[in-house]
Amino acid sequence: MFQPTPIQPSNFGAITADQNLIENPALMYLATLGSKDSYRCMKSKLNKFARFFGYKGLVDCDWKSMQPNHVTVFLTAQSWGSARTYNCYLSALKSVALNAWRNKQIDLDHFQRIKSLKQRRVFRALSGRAISSEESASLIKSLEANSLRTVRNRAIFYLMLGCGLRRAEVCELRVKQVSFKNRSAKIIGKGNKERTIYFPDVVLDVLKTWFEFRQLNKNEIDAGFVFGRIDNKLRLYLDTALDPSSVSRIIEKLVTETENLDSRLTPHDLRRTFATRLISKNVDIVEVQKLMGHASVATTGNYVRKDEENLRKAAEKAEL
């Protein structure tokens, strides 16, 4: 099997230690990413590419000398778990090349040769799932206690399932964005796009309860975040935003404490469930798209999960 030897920095251009970071097309690309998760993910990928060719990382990599064959050699040398991962790396490298061209570090022909590299076609069942009504009832039952931690976790769970929020949106949500009078909140989503979400009665009640607990238990420094970290002594810290990984751990722990859950559940599955339930109740997909904060209806469609029984009923409607 062909295993190419990484190209050394001498073959991939030279770079000076005092290069102006503003002219680094990789940093320029990362600065355009709208979410912290996307930033961390793409930064890791670009660092991996740079180190493959002998650089310390993306900062000292001479991106203007990157050629299509460098991209091909790197992608060929990796063991890809999925076409999606392959395409994600390729997309990031194409974006770096685009910024290098915009910054007049490479010419148009150079950029177009990198841009012309083909992505792999993805043939895979959609990941994730939508939970059933029975499962959500069991999860809610596990959140009945009135302790500080449980009330916080209950509010997080209800916002994700009842309003379709992403992990990062829950973490970055601030008190000033919430309006109990209008039963709504202004959400800053991916790409700094703003949308309005609306609270169903049950979500509104749970959120009001959390605000009462929040006011009574918050530490001295309050930066205005709706949710915060709770330590082992049950002290609530609101000086910084809750980390998205903490939300994942909250959901994981909830799953382990809940009966009648047979399979894995991620925070994003709650968002998928939100979309699936609205569509199943014949809510217009364009309205669901707006509530989800998606750029296109096609993306919203990818979130809908139909169970076998629904598919069976749909098939029975076919006419000959």
Active-site positions read 166, 190, 268, 271, 294, 303
Q: What is the spatial distance between Cα 242 and Cα 172, in angstroms, rounded to a whole number?
A: 7
Question: At 186, phi and psi to the nearest 5?
Answer: -90, 120
- Here the tokens at position 171 are 């973490």
CA atoms 9, 15, 21, 24: torsion sign: negative
